[in-house]
Amino acid sequence: MKLLAQIVFVLWVFCGSVNAQPLFQGTGEREDWMGTYFQGKKMGFTRVQTRWTPESIEVDSRVFFQIRSGSIDQSTTINQKTWLSPDFKLLGFSLLQEITGHRQQVEGKMEGNRLTYRVKSRGFDKEESIDLPPGALPSSTFLLNLMVNGFKVGQKGTLPLFLEPFQMMVDLEYEVLRRETLEYEGKPVETFAIKQKFSGIETILWVADDGSVIKETTDQGFESFRESAEVAQQLDEPLTVSSLITMSLVKPDKPIDRSDRVRKVIFHLKPLRSPDLVPQDHRQKILETELLPNGFYRATLEVKTEPETIANPSSWPKEQDKKYLEDSAEVQSRHPMIRALARELAADTQNDWQVAQDINRWVYLNLEKELVDTVTALDALYERRGECQSHTYLFTAVARAAGIPTRIVNGLVYSKEYEGFLYHAWPEVYVGEWRALDPTFGQNVVDATHIKLTEGTREGMFRLMEFVGKVEIDWSPANGRQLLQ
């Protein structure tokens, strides 16, 4: 849950709060600070230092968010350096994310139109490359490119962006809405109000004529304001993980009694950007979509509890995507410790479904349920604690190491404690058919209150932003009644 919130923060900061500069002349340096607020409470800051010479431009960003879980400091720091040519083309970047002592580093370098980047985390070090499409820009500095020719009201367009924290491409739509006068340090400042939108995330920037961002807001409750260095670093009491959970809770129209025993539920989700935004599979099916007056959609979704037995056990089809067996910076399935655990749990068992259940039970019993991030599967194995993401990463790594194709699911699950839906992660395994388990709750068959919204590690979490802070849920019993186990 908390990792989700931090990803929202990372996306928002790196895709908008970097202060742009007009065309740089000669040699110079500039530093800008912004305070970060969530629902009116200050919880972090951003510092951007820009240096330029006739040969290159360097943008050095530091983002800090202050979060606490009980007595544990869960603060997050993201440092990034981006190097640009004098005509604002990407040369390379170095990104370091740190959460409670856990680190993930990404370093990239351009060679022609090809970006080669290296990702490092605990027990993982891998180099990959991607051909960037024409006109592609890094998310950390794209505003510089927009500033080159200046802004005018009514200007709009679409830009392909490379998101450095996620190593993926997205399309960003922008529009210069209007000229607006804001106040900064008691003085009026003329700005352009610019709307930007990507993957369901919408922000508005107020950019001064000198290229500095004076203000930014999102449709998810985050705000940022230009401040002096001293004011920006004056933080309130740390935001707590429990308060984040409360803030992101999706309350249905009525509680679900005995939610862990419900076999089938009809959910109504709105507003959705498109009628096919919510995925369908063997467990959940869209019964109806309705276009709302505001242009969004309302989906009627039937969700079932997984059956107890496997209909057609079989091996993984060779034509299927091999990504469900791969390792990654978050899921280190090839690490010796992960592989050793997989061998121990699989032993001589030939039944993949039984192995998956044994792994599920081991992760449930051996990880303490704490609202702290352990970031990767290997971190979770070392520290033996974490929240849903930690449990899911470790299960996925061990299952893949055992040769069981596994994918990560992101969505919502009903909480009896909060009487509402919390953002949650769980795995699905292929054992002749896809089956969902939940190592956080110890469920070998997930109940019908698990609503799948996206799939995938980074890309799935990113696409979850379509729903965070926006989705509303009502529900009704299937066939007019709750079907219980």
CATH number at residue 366: 3.10.620.30
Q: Are 158 and 273 contained in the same domain? A: no
**Residue 78 falls within a domain, yes or no?**
yes
Answer yes or no: is 10 within a domain. Answer: yes
254 and 234 inside one domain: no
Q: Is residue 485 part of a domain?
A: no
pLDDT at residue 331, rounded to an integer: 94
The count of structural domains within the chain is 2
Q: Is residue 440 part of a domain?
A: yes
User: Do residues 235 and 309 share a domain?
Assistant: no
Question: CA–CA separation, 16 vs 144, rounded Å?
Answer: 11
Report CA-CA distances (Å) from 158 to 175, 193, 239, 274, 444: 9, 17, 35, 19, 44
Tokens of 274: 């498109």
Q: Alpha helix locations (H) across 62-123?
A: none
Residues 161 and 103 placed together within one structural domain of the fold: yes
Give the domain-ending residue among 217, 239, 261: 239
Residues 191 and 280 reside in one and the same domain: no
- 191 & 259 share domain: no
**Residue spans of the chain under pLDDT 50:** 1-6, 8-10, 12-13, 15-22, 480-485
DSSP 359-420: HHHHHHHHSEE-S----SHHHHHHH-EE-HHHHHHHHHHHHHHTT--EEEEEEEEEETTTTE
Q: Which of 185, 217, 239 is the last residue of a domain?
A: 239
- End position of a domain, from candidates 239, 272, 294: 239
For residue 244, tell me if it sits in a domain.
no
Q: Please, what is the Cα angle at 432 between 428 and 435, to 5 degrees?
A: 25
The model's pTM = 0.89
Instruction: Tell whether 297 and 367 lie within a shared domain.
Output: yes
And the tokens for 463? 């696409």
Supply the mean pLDDT for the chain. 86
User: Are 299 and 321 contained in the same domain?
Assistant: yes
pLDDT at residue number 218? 83
Residue 210 and residue 262 in one domain: no
Tokens of 160: 């392909």
Residues 6+ apart with CB under 8 A from 87: none
One domain, residues 97 and 181: yes
Task: Examine the domain organization and report whether 310 and 231 are in the same domain.
Answer: no
Asked if residue 211 belongs to a domain, the reply is yes
Beta-strand ranges (E) seen in 199-296 are 201-208, 213-218, 222-227, 239-240, 264-272, 284-291
Instruction: Please indicate, yes or no, if residue 258 is contained in any of the structural domains.
Output: yes
Tell me whether residue 193 is in a domain: yes
Same domain for 283 and 235? Answer: no
Among 352, 422, 364, residue whose Cα is nearest residue 391: 364
**Residue pointed to by tokens 């005018």:** 152
Domain range for 39 is 2-239
Phi then psi for 378, rounded to 5 degrees? -65, -40
